[in-house]
Structure formats: C-alpha cells, structure tokens
Chain A
Amino acid sequence: MEDDAPVIYGLEFQIHIIDFDDENNIINKNVLLHQAGEIWHISASPADRGVLATCYNRTSDSKVLTCAAVWRMPKELESGSHESPDDSSSTAQTLELLCHLDNTAHSNMACVVWEPMGDGKKIISLADNHILLWDLQESSSQAVLASSASLGGKGQLKFTSGRWSPHHNCTQVATANDTTLRGWDTRTMSQIYCIENAHGQLVRDLDFNPNKQYYLASCGDDCKVKFWDTRNVTEPVKTLEEHSHWVWNVRYNHSHDQLVLTGSSDSRVILSNMVSISSEPFGHLVDDDDISDQEDHRSEEKSKEPLQDNVIATYEEHEDSVYAVDWSSADPWLFASLSYDGRLVINRVPRALKYHILL
C-alpha cells in the first residue's frame, strides 16, 4: 500500500477510499460505486494495489444470495491524489469487474482471503461449508476453481471467517465455523488441526501471528480473545477478557506481534500488549553503555523476567459497536477502527510504547 495509507471500507453499496496523510493530518475521500450489491466482506490484493475482492449480497426474488467477485479500482485513485479540491462525493466512479468467483454450485460466500506475499493469483473463498481455492488467470480476468474441501458433519455447518497463514510458504489456512477452529493445508485441502470449543459461543474472527509460526488469535461472542499454539490445541496459551460484549475483530500488528488490536460491539477498541507470547518476550533491550548505538538493535537481555502483558489503551471514541479494526500496512504504528454508525477512527500507538519497543 501507499505511504499515505489510504483506507478502504465498504458501506453498503459503496466503497469509500480514504486517504490519510499523516504528516499533515488531512483526510481525503473518494467514493466508488459497487452496484452489484451490498458488501459484506472486502479484502485487497497483496500484489496489485488496484485490485480487491468483495463478498456482497444480491437480492433477487426476495432471496438473498451472497456472491464474491474481484474488482479493479480506477487508475487515478490508486496513486492517492492529494489534490482533490472538488467535493469528494460528486464524482462517484465505478469499479471495474474483473471476474466473479462463480458459486452456482454452492451457496453463500462468507469471506474471501488472498494469498499473502503471493503474486495475487491465488484466492480462497469460504462458502457455507466449503473452502474453495481459486486460480486467477489472465491478469485476474478469469477465476478457475483449483481445488475445494468441504466440512462434513451433522447439522448445517457454516464457515464464518478464515485467514491465510503467512508462514509455511503460505500453504495453511485457518477457518472458523461456529465454535470450532480448523487449520487446512491448501496443497491437499485436508484438515491439519482442529480446535474444538475454542470459544463458548460463535467465533467471529481469527488472525495469525506474523512472527511466530504456530500462533494464532481468535475472538468470539463469549467476549473473550484467545491465543492458541496450533501444536497444542487442548488449551489456549492465553485468554483475554477485557471486552464486555462480542468481540468482532482481532488483529496482530504486522511487524511487532506483541501489539494486538481488538474491536467489540461494546463500542470499544482495545490495544493490548501481549509481550509474554510474542516473538520478543524479553523485550528489546540495549545495554546502558551502548545507548549511543541506537542503530545497532542487538537485544541483550538485561533481566530474565518477561515483561507483563497489559492493556495499553482503550479507545472509546465510538458510540456504537465497532465491527472492524486493522493495522496500516505502511506505518506499523497506525491503526483504524470502524463502527456501525459509519465512524472511522484512525489512531496511533502511544509514543512512549513505540520508543520502548523500538529501543
């Protein structure tokens, strides 16, 4: 993504691209129309900054169907133009449809995830109780179903969300259905691990630790956030119970995995410092004598005691439920949160903590 960290979020039939210029604290907005239907899930391609995929509701004959498609943004919006003196909502442009992820064989698409660090050619969609792996060919204008897997069992099993693990050469995917988390191998489309009863109620979201291979976090309607080691699925490594209602999102910071962001329908965003289970449990310490050598980030452990986990800050700027939070991929200290009333709040990690982590 760009240096100015534009943020994209979907509001019903529109996609708003917000350009945030953090040097000048200016926000610019561009609106794109997404006429196909009401957007429920959106994700951007890691390779091509103009490509994104959405899951949307299409109402037809008083039936609602959730479909998925890949789109391209108009060229001039990609570069993040700073000069847009005109009214931002006047010229709403349209997205160019690249391809549908055709789901006539299956029903509702829950979410779409791109292969991280890939070349934007592979994409996975979760539809009801199927995982579908697509190959995008001919510059993403055609999607071919490469392989699929489905979840057997009694009752109506439905995937609610999924995430592609950045480790293991991007061959692992984790999904959530009801209260169970499962890990899948994309090469064979078979289940690797299964965490039963991960949460007391529905699991809403999960995220992988970018620095530690086997760690993932999940959050659910039991108001808890749980951290798991997939090698030992019987018990969570840590449980956080800071929220007082359903937690909708959990996100690790892309570079410093001790920073974990959670958003919940109790209108709060909580930034936690999970040092003890991060990749640097003893912090990043430098000897007192070498304080001048700040470029040389060699961790010399001063004390053998791991730092304590704690809640860094609770952000209460929202008045309604917070449904999405995410970190900026350009600046690791910046994050945004979105609530039901359409309010987008961009925040930073407190400076003291930022320097503590860096130095």
Chain B
Amino acid sequence: MKNDFRKMEDEMDRLATNMAVITDFSARISATLQDRHERITKLAGVHALLRKLQFLFELPSRLTKCVELGAYGQAVRYQGRAQAVLQQYQHLPSFRAIQDDCQVITARLAQQLRQRFREGGSGAPEQAECVELLLALGEPAEELCEEFLAHARGRLEEELRSLEAELGPSPPAPDVLEFTDHGGSGFVGGLCQVAAAYQELFAAQGPAGAERLAAFARELGSRYFALVERRLAQEQGGGDNSLLVRALDRFHRRLRAPGALLAAAGLAEAATEIVERVARERLGHHLQGLRAAFLGCLTDVRQALAAPRVAGKEGPGLAELLANVASSILSHIKASLAAVHLFTAKEVSFSNKPYFRGEFCSQGVREGLIVGFIRSMCQTAQSFCDSPGEKGGATPPALLLLLSRLCLDYETATISYILTLTDEQFLVQDQFPVTPVSTLCAEARETARRLLTHYVKVQGLVISQMLRKSVETRDWLSTLEPRNVRAVMKRVVEDTTAIDVQVGLLYEEGVRKAQSSDSSKRTFSVYSSSRQQGRYAPSYTPSAPMDTNLLSNIQKLFSERIDVFSPVEFNKVSVLTGIIKISLKTLLECVRLRTFGRFGLQQVQVDCHFLQLYLWRFVADEELVHLLLDEVVASAALRCPDPVPMEPSVVEVICERG
C-alpha cells in the first residue's frame, strides 16, 4: 500500500505540472486570440444590427406583401415589433420615411381588416381574430366594441327576420316546436357566441363594456321574445298541449345558457314570464273548452228530447241521457287535467319555477279551471230558471229535470271526486286560499233546488192553463145535464201521469202517507156526515151565506192550511204534489170567478170526483187532494144561485163510465 500511495503521489505531481503547463498554454492562446475574439464579436453585433436595419428597410414592402397575401396576423406582428424602434429613431430622416411608409401601409391594413370585419361573410372566429388584430394595432376599443356589436346585431337581425318570415301567412307554417328550435339554435345560439366572443375580446373594457353588451342583448332579446309571443299566440290549438309544452321547454332551456352569461340582461326572467303567460292562456283556453263542451252536451240533450219518436224504437230515456251528459263532462274534465298536467311534468325545465309549483296549481288549475268550470256550470243551469220566456218558453221541462238531477249528483259525489283527483295531480304548495269542497257542494245543491222548483212551476203552469181555459171559456149558466166527465179532465190526468213517469225516471219515489185501503173508492166527502148538512141548502136567503161561511170557517180553523208553494224535496212524490197543488189552486180561483147554473155545478162535481179518483195516488198526502177538491166544489156551489147537487151514486156511475 505504501507503494501504491507513492505511485499516486508521483502521478499527482505529474498531473499538477501538466495542469500548470496547460494553463500556461491556454493563457497564451487566449491572449493570442483576444483581439480576434473582439473583432468577431463586433462583427456579429454589426451583423445583427444590419439584419435589423434590413428588416426595417424591407418592412414596408414586406408589409405590403403580407397585406396582399392576406397574412394579416403576420403583418401585425411585424408592425408590432418594429413599432418601438421606429418610434425611438423617428428623428432620423430615413427612419422617418420608413415609419411613414409603415404607417400608411398599417392604415391600409387596418382598413382592410375593418373591411373584412364589416363584410362579415366569415364566421365569428375570424371576426374575433380581426378584432384582436385591430386591438393590437391600437385602434380605440369603444369603436371596436360598437362595430363588433353592430355587426353582430346585423347577423342576429337576419336571424330574427327569418323567424318573422316563418310567422307569416305563407305556407307551410312550421309547427311551434320547429319554430322554437330554429329560434333557439339560430338566434340564441348566435347571441351566446357573440356574448362569449365579446367578453373574451373586450374583457379589459370593464363594466362599461359589460353594460353595453347587456343593453344590446336586452334589446335584441325583447324583439326575439315579441316574435316568440306572436308565434305562441297563434297556437290556438286543441286540447293537446304536449307539443306546446315541449316547445316551451326548449325555449326556456335555451335561454338558461345566455342567462348565465348575460345575467344583467334578465333574459331568463323574461323567458319565464313568457312561459307563465302562455300557461295562463292555456288554462283559460281549457276553461272555454270545458264550457263549450257542457253547452254542447245540453244542445245534444235538447235535440234528443225534441227528436220525433221513431215508431217501434224507444228514444233514449232520460236516465240514459243523464248518464251520457255526466260521463261526457267527466271525461272532458279528465282530459283537460291531463293536458294541463304536462306543464308540471318533472322533465320540463320550468316546472320547478315557483309559479308553476304554487300559483299555477292552486289558483290556475284548481280555482280557475276546475272550480271555475263547476261554478259556470251551475250558473248556466240556473239561467234556465230565469229565462224571460216564462210561459214555458223554449226550455223543455225534461231538460230542467235532467239538469237538477245532474247538479244533485254533483253535490253528492262528483264534485268531491273531481277535486280529489285535481289535488292528487297538482300538489298544492302555497298558501293561496282555495274553495273548500263544501262550498261548491252547497252551490250545486242550491242550483238543483232552484231548477226543480222551476220545473214544478213550469209543469204546474201547463196544467193550470188547461184548467183555466176550461173554466173560463165554458158557458156555465146554460150548460146541459152532465153525462160524462169533460175531456179536459182526462187530459189533465193523462198529463199528470206522464209527468209522474218522467220524474220517476230520474228521481226516487219518496215517502207517502199510508193510505187507507178504500182510498180509491172514497166518496165525495161533501156528503159524508162530518160536514154540516145545511151547507148547500137550496133556499137562498140573505143570511144563509153568512151562516154557512161561518161554519165553513170554523171547519177551516181545525184543518191545516195548505201551503201552495212549500219547498220541493228531491223526490218524485214531492214534485208531483207541488204540481198538483198549483193546478188545483188555479182551478179553485177560476171557479170562484164564474157564475154557475145548476147543471154547471153538477158538471163541476163530476169533474172533481174524477180528478180525485186518479190524482190521489201521485201526492204525498191524499187528504190534500180531497181538501182542495172539496173547496172547489164548495166555491162552485156558492157561486150558484140554484145549487142542486147530484146524487153521489150517479156521480160515481158517470165517472166510472167516463
């Protein structure tokens, strides 16, 4: 090891000496080459400077070439590079010249760029490039902004014009979905691009620039909205909303994008407003549709009622007509609900806006559409009661009956069903006041009651007119001995039976007071022992009427007074009782206004007995019929100067024969 170390030491020494020699040599070389090195450096510097000068001298021609070739970007770069130097040395005449040349060319370049910019045949990225270059050339930024926006406006206006052209009457008008697509992609897409480009390019402009953009977007946006609204207004459409909803969805969705970019322009809110307006209009439209459907049903019923009966074929019964009307209205309501439900579907972009979640469901659909329709139905039905043609005008009584049953059914079942359905489909999420089910049911019941009362009046009037004419036109003083019942009485019984059948089709029987077994054979109670015998005494003294009146008054005190227009219940017996009461009271009043001969009185007797034989079975309490008919005969007897009543057996024979 010692050897190795010694060898290394020797080696190291040798190395050191070598190094010293090398260093020595290197220093000698550097010294030798020193001035050459300097000269070369100087030459290199001069070379670079010369290249720059060359560049400068060539600059105008190069610029011209670039402009000719259209390599604007390159030209602008050259220009940028040379700018500072030229600026600094512009006091030197040669540089001055160059600078002037360059400026001319640059101006030309700028002009060309502007030209290109204005032509705008190229797409937006090229536009953006132009703008960028122009900015780099040092053009004033506001001007560029304005021009950029003006240019964009031109393009967008063209889009708008093409949209407007679609609105025109020239066929074929594309459907609303295509329209919104076109508008969305064309205009809104363009607007988005413009907005993005603008923000990129002119971001340095700060709030003033953003304001300008917002104003621009607002103005064009409002015009676009106007067009969209016009198009939507054209959309009268049937019951199907699906196309409309999809179109609105697309429209709304599209405007969410620029909405983010252009928050200040408020485009998204305006779009939502438009959608809300359209939704409201659709609701109104559906309400009109439901009303029209209801009136259509009524017209159909009237036609069916008025249609002449084909021999051998029964026309549709009232119950069937009622079922048809009810089911038709229900199906219309369901269809409308389904159509309107589309507005709140989950996929639709605007369905979670506060309006649609809250007010649309409660006020729009539930209150406006459903409750509004039911109320208008009740009003239409009630208008049949108030029609000026009170003499049984144009409204067939069967229609009144049918409507009253319809309203009654609505009150008992249908209204709550419909409202439950509505509430299920449209969950109400706000605090707007809604009409409770009970209010609507009360209204429907009231309508049903009024209709039924009016029906009773109308039918009562028909029969009363018959009876009135029969009493007023006959000469009672010179009439012959009655051989049979008058035809008018038979008609009265027939009509009453027909009414009974008609009402029985729709309403339940009702409760009647238990009859005694021999009701039909009940003889005329005038002759029963319960009455005072001296009532129809043939002798007519001045004092007799007073006495018999007194007696009959006492009698009346103990019998119940008949209320002619007591409220009608919803059953057949009550309806018939009302009609018969009206008719018999009319007969009574008319009889009191005439003077009867002997046989006239007997004819009245026969007629009343006949009526009593047949009318008792229709009323709730047969005592009523007896009382009224007794009154009629009693009044006739008082009006007779020579009252000789017929024997009851003879009366019965005549009635049975007739």
Q: Which of A12, A197, A265 contacts B585 (CB 8 A)?
A: A265
Would you call B592 an interface residue if the criterion is a C-beta within 8 Å of the partner chain's C-beta atoms? yes
- Residue-wise, chain A 305-341 has the 8 Å CB interface mask toward B (1 for contact) of 0000000000000011100000000000000000011
Contact check, B549 vs A57: say whether CB atoms are below 8 A apart.
no
Given contacts A64-B477, A320-B556, contact A342 B589 (CB under 8 A): no
Contact check, A200 vs B390: say whether CB atoms are below 8 A apart.
yes
What is the CA–CA distance of A318 and B571 in the complex, to the nearest angstrom?
31
Contact check, A341 vs B549: say whether CB atoms are below 8 A apart.
yes
Give the residues in chain B near A246, CB-CB below 8 Å.
589
What is the CA–CA distance of A245 and B565 in the complex, to the nearest angstrom?
7
Contact check, B589 vs A319: say whether CB atoms are below 8 A apart.
no
Residue of A nearest to B465 (CB): A201
Q: Tell me the count of chain B residues lying within 8 A, CB to CB, of chain A.
A: 26
Q: How far is the CB of B468 from chain A (nearest CB, A)?
A: 9
Give the residues in chain B near A57, CB-CB below 8 Å.
595
Would you call A253 an interface residue if the criterion is a C-beta within 8 Å of the partner chain's C-beta atoms? no
Most buried by B among A11, A12, A62: A62
Contact check, B595 vs A341: say whether CB atoms are below 8 A apart.
no
What is the CA–CA distance of A245 and B628 in the complex, to the nearest angstrom?
15
Most buried by B among A11, A197, A319: A319
Q: Tell me the count of chain A residues lying within 8 A, CB to CB, of chain B.
A: 30
Most buried by A among B477, B545, B589: B589
What is the CA–CA distance of A1 and B380 in the complex, to the nearest angstrom?
54
Q: How far is the CB of A324 from chain B (nearest CB, A)?
A: 13
Give the residues in chain B near A342, CB-CB below 8 Å.
546, 549, 553
Contact check, B595 vs A64: say whether CB atoms are below 8 A apart.
yes
Residue of A nearest to B552 (CB): A341
What is the CA–CA distance of A192 and B590 in the complex, to the nearest angstrom?
32
What is the CA–CA distance of A13 and B565 in the complex, to the nearest angstrom?
34
What is the CA–CA distance of A174 and B534 in the complex, to the nearest angstrom?
45
Most buried by A among B391, B542, B545: B542
Contact check, A266 vs B391: say whether CB atoms are below 8 A apart.
no
Given contacts A57-B595, A200-B391, A245-B585, contact A341 B556 (CB under 8 A): yes
Q: Within B580-602, which residues are at the interface with A (CB < 8 Å)?
A: 585, 589, 592, 595, 597
Would you call B173 an interface residue if the criterion is a C-beta within 8 Å of the partner chain's C-beta atoms? no
Q: Which of B391, B461, B561 contacts A319 (CB 8 A)?
A: B561
Would you call B208 an interface residue if the criterion is a C-beta within 8 Å of the partner chain's C-beta atoms? no
Would you call A222 an interface residue if the criterion is a C-beta within 8 Å of the partner chain's C-beta atoms? yes
Q: Within A334-359, which residues are at the interface with B (CB < 8 Å)?
A: 340-343
Contact check, A62 vs B565: say whether CB atoms are below 8 A apart.
no
Q: Within B582-636, which residues are at the interface with A (CB < 8 Å)?
A: 585, 589, 592, 595, 597, 635
Q: Within B323-347, which residues are at the interface with A (CB < 8 Å)?
A: none
Give the residues in chain A near B388, CB-CB below 8 Å.
197
Q: How far is the CB of B394 from chain A (nearest CB, A)?
A: 14
Interface SS majority for chain A: loop
What is the CA–CA distance of A57 and B595 in the complex, to the nearest angstrom?
9
Q: Within A1-52, which residues are at the interface with B (CB < 8 Å)?
A: 11-14, 38
Give the residues in chain B near A343, CB-CB below 8 Å.
553
Give the residues in chain A near B288, CB-CB below 8 Å.
none
What is the CA–CA distance of A89 and B552 in the complex, to the nearest angstrom?
21
Would you call A273 an interface residue if the criterion is a C-beta within 8 Å of the partner chain's C-beta atoms? no
Q: Within A257-313, which residues are at the interface with B (CB < 8 Å)?
A: 265-267
What is the CA–CA distance of A176 and B230 in the complex, to the nearest angstrom?
60
Contact check, B565 vs A59: say whether CB atoms are below 8 A apart.
no
Residue of A nearest to B549 (CB): A342
Residue of B nearest to A244 (CB): B565
What is the CA–CA distance of A222 and B477 in the complex, to the nearest angstrom?
29
Given contacts A89-B543, A341-B549, A341-B552, contact A62 B589 (CB under 8 A): no
Give the residues in chain A near B545, CB-CB below 8 Å.
11-12
Give the residues in chain A near B589, CB-CB below 8 Å.
246, 265, 321
Give the residues in chain B near A187, CB-CB below 8 Å.
none
Contact check, B542 vs A38: say whether CB atoms are below 8 A apart.
no
Q: Within B29-67, which residues are at the interface with A (CB < 8 Å)?
A: none
Contact check, A59 vs B477: say whether CB atoms are below 8 A apart.
yes
Q: Within A209-234, which residues are at the interface with B (CB < 8 Å)?
A: 222-223
Q: How far is the CB of B348 from chain A (nearest CB, A)?
A: 51
What is the CA–CA distance of A58 and B71 in the complex, to the nearest angstrom?
129
Contact check, A319 vs B477: say whether CB atoms are below 8 A apart.
no
Would you call B203 an interface residue if the criterion is a C-beta within 8 Å of the partner chain's C-beta atoms? no
What is the CA–CA distance of A201 and B589 in the complex, to the nearest angstrom?
14
Contact check, B597 vs A62: say whether CB atoms are below 8 A apart.
yes
Would you call B478 an interface residue if the criterion is a C-beta within 8 Å of the partner chain's C-beta atoms? yes
Residue of B nearest to A14 (CB): B542
Give the residues in chain B near A38, CB-CB below 8 Å.
595
A sample of 29 inter-chain contacts (CB < 8 A) reads: A14-B542, A59-B595, A62-B597, A63-B477, A63-B478, A64-B477, A89-B543, A92-B542, A197-B388, A200-B391, A201-B390, A201-B461, A223-B565, A244-B565, A245-B565, A246-B589, A266-B563, A266-B564, A267-B561, A319-B553, A320-B556, A321-B592, A340-B592, A341-B549, A341-B552, A341-B553, A342-B546, A342-B549, A343-B553
| Beyond A62-B597, A244-B563, A265-B585, 15 additional pairs, beta carbon < 8 A | A62-B478, A63-B477, A63-B478, A89-B543, A197-B388, A200-B391, A201-B391, A201-B461, A244-B564, A266-B563, A319-B561, A321-B592, A340-B635, A341-B556, A343-B553
Closest 5 CB pairs between A and B?
A: A200-B390, A244-B565, A62-B477, A62-B478, A319-B556
Q: Which residues of A contact B (CB under 8 A)?
A: 11-14, 38, 57, 59, 62-64, 89, 92, 197, 200-201, 222-223, 244-246, 265-267, 319-321, 340-343
